[in-house]
Amino acid sequence: MRKWNFYTSNQIKPQGWLREQLALQANGLCGNLDKVWPDVRDSAWIGGDREGWERVPYWLDGFIPLAFLLEDKDMISRAKRYIDKILENQQSDGWICPCKEEDRSSYDTWAVQLIAKVLTMWYECSGDERIPTAVYRVLRNYYDLLSSGSVSLFGWGKSRWYETCIAIRFLHERCHEEWLSELVKLLRNQGTDFDRYLPMFAAPLEHVRSQESHVVNLAMQLKSEAVSCDFLKEDYRNLAETRYRILMENNGMPVGTFTGDEHLSGLSPVQGTELCGVVELMYSFEHLYAYTGDPIWAERLEQVAFNALSATISDDMWAHQYDQQSNQICCSRFTDNPIWRTNGREAGLFGLEPNYGCCTADHGQGWPKFALSAYMHKAGEIINVLPVPSRLDCEQAEISLTTEYPFRTKFVYEINVKQDFVFRIRIPSFAKNVRWNGKTKRTKEIVLFLKAGEHHCCSLEYTIAPRMESRPYRLKTVRYGSLVFSLPIRYEAKRLEYESKGVERKYPYCDYEYLPLSDWNYGFSSKQIEIVERKREDIPFSSQNPSLVLKAKVRKIPWGHHPRYHTVCAVEPLARSPEGKEEVVSLYPYGCAKLRMTELPLLKNKK
C-alpha cells in the first residue's frame, strides 16, 4: 500500500523563489502556448485541425496545476475552456479522443491514458464534479474495447500502459468495481515488460531505435510497479531501484538522469538527454517516494529538478532545448549529421519546438508537480518531503516554510496546529552539523508530536561539504548537496526568427543559438573548493548572477574537439598536461550554466 498521499493545489502554495519560478513559467512558453502554438491553439481536441493526440493533454498536465498554484483566474479560465470542450466531445460510449470510430483500432491509445490522468488533475485542482463520471466512462470504455479486442496496445501506449493507473486509482477511491483491477491486468499483459530488456540498458548503443530504449519511456516506467502492484495483488519488489541502478551505471549523467537523445546513449559527457525524459523522471520519483517513503527518491527528485530541469530552459522560460549535454560548449544547428544518436540537427537549440514538439507541450509539468510534492500525508501524519519555500493549509495545520534552499541551508517553520498530528521533516543524507532550534541533532528526520491549539516557530540549519565525484573517462564533477556545479561559458544568444511548416518563430517565442565567448578547455588543479553566497536575483536559476557559486582552481589543458564537430568538445581531453597558469574561477550551479563544462579532469600536481 502507498505510504504517503499527495496534497492538492488548494492546500499547498509555493512561496519565495519557488513561486517566482512558477511565475516565470506562467509568463513564458507554458503559460502562453495556447496563444502562440498551432498544435495547442488549433488542436483537434477543441475542434480545430491540428494535432489531436498527445500535445494538448501534455500541455494541460502542467498548465492546470500551474494555474491553480498561482491562483491565476485567467489561466484557470483558459484551462477550463479546453476541459469543457473535451468533455463536450466525449462520445456516448465513453470514448474521448478526437478520433473517428472507424479509426480507433489504429489510434495509439497513449492519448487515452494521458487524457484520463489530466482529467484527474483538473478535478484535484478544481473540484469539478463532472470529472468522476467522465473518467468512469473513459476507463470503462477503454476496458470494454481492450477486453473485446476492438483496440489493443501498440506503440507508445504499449510502453506506457502503467500511466493509466493514475486515473484508475482516482476512480478506485470512489468506486471499488472489480473491472478496474481487470483493466490493470489487461494493460500489464499487453504492455511492455521492461525487465526483459535490462541487458539493453547496459548495452544501449546496440539498440538505438526501439521503444524499450527510449529515454522518456524509461523515465516513466520506473514507477510502473509502484502504481500497479496493489491492483495486481503483487508484493512490491522495488524493481525501480534495480532498473535505475543499471540505467545510471551504463548511461548516467552527473545530474541524476540518464542519457537519451532520443534513445539510451551511454556515458559520454557530450551525449544528451531529452527534456521530456527529465520531467517524466521527476514525476516517477514523486510517485516512488509517495509509495515507498524511501528518502532516496526525494533526494534524486531534488537533484534532477535543481539541475537537469533548470539547465535546459532559458531564464525567462520562453525557450527550451530538446537535448542537454553535461559538457555543452555550444548550442547551434549542426551543419552535418549531429552528435545525437537519433535526434536531428536542431535538438540542441533553445527555442519553440527544437527537434520535436513533445517537449514544448510536456515540459510544463516539471515545476508545478515538484511544488505539489513539497508535503505529503497519511492518517495523522504530515511530512515535509522537499524543503522548499511553501505553505501548507490543511485539516491538521497551517505550516509555512521560509528558506532559500537549495542555495542556502537555513529553514524557518511556522506551525499553527488545528488537530493533533505528527509532523516529520526529512533531513538529506548529505546534511552535516544538523541543528534544530539551536541544538545539535544526530538524525535524518525531525519528528514532532503536535497538539491542537499549539503554535510553533522552529529553526533548522545544517552545513554541506562540497565534494568531487568520479565520472567515466577519469573525469570529475563537483557536488554541493543536491546541486551539481559546472564551469560556465559566456555566450552570445543569437536570435532566430522564421516560419517553418506553418509555425512561426517570433520573439519571445523564437529560437536561439548560444554561441561561446569564453574558454572552456580546463582541468581542476586542486580539490579545494570555496563556497561564495551572493544576493539572489529575481530569476532563481539565473544564468548571469547565481546566488551561490563555488570558487575552484583550474588550469588550461589541450582538450580538443570531437572528431568532425567544431561545436562539440572531445569526450575526454587530448592531454592532461597544463598549458597555462593556475586560475581561480567561479563554478555555477549546473542549472544556471546554459553553456558549461561539468565533467573535468583533476590534474596531477607537478612541482
C-alpha 184: how far from chain center: 26
Residues 314-334, mean pLDDT to the nearest whole number: 98
Contacts of 102 (CB under 8 A, 6+ apart): none
Rg (C-alpha) for the chain, rounded Å, is 24
Task: Please give the pLDDT value at position 192.
Answer: 97
Instruction: Determine the Cα–Cα distance for residues 37 and 570; give it in Å rounded to an integer.
Output: 37
Task: Please give the pLDDT value at position 443.
Answer: 87
Residue 607 has pLDDT above 70, yes or no: no
Exposure string for 135-152, b = 16+ CB within 10 A, e = fewer? bbbbbbbbbbbbeeeebe
Q: Is residue 491 part of a domain?
A: yes
Q: Is residue 478 part of a domain?
A: yes
Query: 97 to each of 91, 171, 525, how far by Cα in Å?
Result: 9, 19, 58
Three-class DSSP category at 554: strand
Task: Please give the pLDDT value at position 199.
Answer: 87
Confidence of residue 204 (pLDDT cuts 50, 70, 90): low
Q: Is residue 113 part of a domain?
A: no
Selection from 169, 158, 300, 286 nearest residue 217 by Cα: 158
Which residue in the block uniquely carries the three cell numbers 586542486?
Answer: 526
Selection from 368, 372, 402, 396 nearest residue 385 by Cα: 372
Grid coordinates representing 77? 479560465
Instruction: Determine the Cα–Cα distance for residues 213 and 262; give it in Å rounded to an integer.
Output: 9
Residue spans of alpha helices (H) in 37-173: 38-41, 55-69, 73-88, 110-126, 131-148, 155-159, 164-172
Task: Please give the pLDDT value at position 206.
Answer: 54
Q: Is residue 524 part of a domain?
A: yes
Task: Please give the pLDDT value at position 536.
Answer: 87
Q: Is residue 496 part of a domain?
A: yes
Task: Please give the pLDDT value at position 580.
Answer: 84
**Domain count for the chain:** 1
CB 423 within 8 A of CB 398: no
Contacts of 268 (CB under 8 A, 6+ apart): 259, 472, 473, 571
pLDDT, one tens digit per residue, over 22-49 is 999 999 999 999 999 999 999 999 999 9
Residues 376-385, mean pLDDT to the nearest whole number: 97
Residue 205 has pLDDT above 90, yes or no: no
Q: Is residue 515 part of a domain?
A: yes
Task: Please give the pLDDT value at position 396.
Answer: 98
Q: How many CB atoms sit inside 10 A of residue 112's CB?
A: 28
* Helices 55-69, 16-27: crossing angle, 10 deg rounding: 140
Instruction: Determine the Cα–Cα distance for residues 401 and 77; give it in Å rounded to an integer.
Output: 30
Residue 208 has pLDDT above 70, yes or no: no
Query: 326 to each of 85, 289, 564, 568, 598, how far by Cα in Å?
Result: 42, 26, 19, 11, 6
CB 99 within 8 A of CB 93: no
DSSP H/E element including 225 = helix 224-232
Q: Is residue 349 part of a domain?
A: no
Task: Please give the pLDDT value at position 332.
Answer: 97
**Structural domain range at position 527:** 473-597
Instruction: Determine the Cα–Cα distance for residues 368 and 64; give it in Å rounded to an integer.
Output: 9
Q: How many CB atoms sit inside 10 A of residue 1's CB?
A: 7
Task: Please give the pLDDT value at position 200.
Answer: 85
Residue 605 has pLDDT above 90, yes or no: no
Quote the strand ranges of 497-562, DSSP E. 498-500, 503-505, 511-516, 522-533, 548-556
Three-class DSSP category at 559: coil
Residue 60 has pLDDT above 80, yes or no: yes
pLDDT, one tens digit per residue, over 270-294 is 999 999 999 999 999 999 999 999 9
Residues 193-220, mean pLDDT to the nearest whole number: 85
Residues 462-480, mean pLDDT to the nearest whole number: 98
Q: Is residue 411 part of a domain?
A: no
